[in-house]
Amino acid sequence: MNHLHQAIQRCPRVAVYGTLKHGHRNHHWLNGADMLGQDRLTGITLYDLGPYPGAKLTPSTGVTVEVYAINAEQLARLDQLEGYFHHAPSQGLYNRSYWSGRPDDCSFRPPTDPSVRD
């Protein structure tokens, strides 16, 4: 659990797209998280993978994401949903990336699916 606390200390926010957004089927995994607002990412492109979208780190016209303040428990739930293993991150369909829109800001985002990487 220490790795979760370290990740949250580095950046206590997550930006989500697809099924984790408000009103979609997996949003309940963010129960208790405070929505901070929305952002538009032009550094990722979404792909239809069937039951959920995947993202690739390539320029686009923009993907609208919701940004939430989260804690270690909420991050653990997201890891469970996405099948993320901190000791072997390349084995899952989810990869964490840190992004910064401003020098004083960061967003902790799960943007990439290894199956759509170059």
Residues 6+ apart with CB under 8 A from 100: 106, 107
Q: Of 20, 82, 95, 112, which one is the catalytic site residue? A: 82
Closest C-alpha among 46, 64, 63 to residue 55: 46
Instruction: Answer yes or no: are the C-beta atoms of 94 and 1 closer than 8 Å.
Output: no
73 is catalytic: no
> Which one-letter amino acid corresponds to residue 32?
G
List active site positions.
82
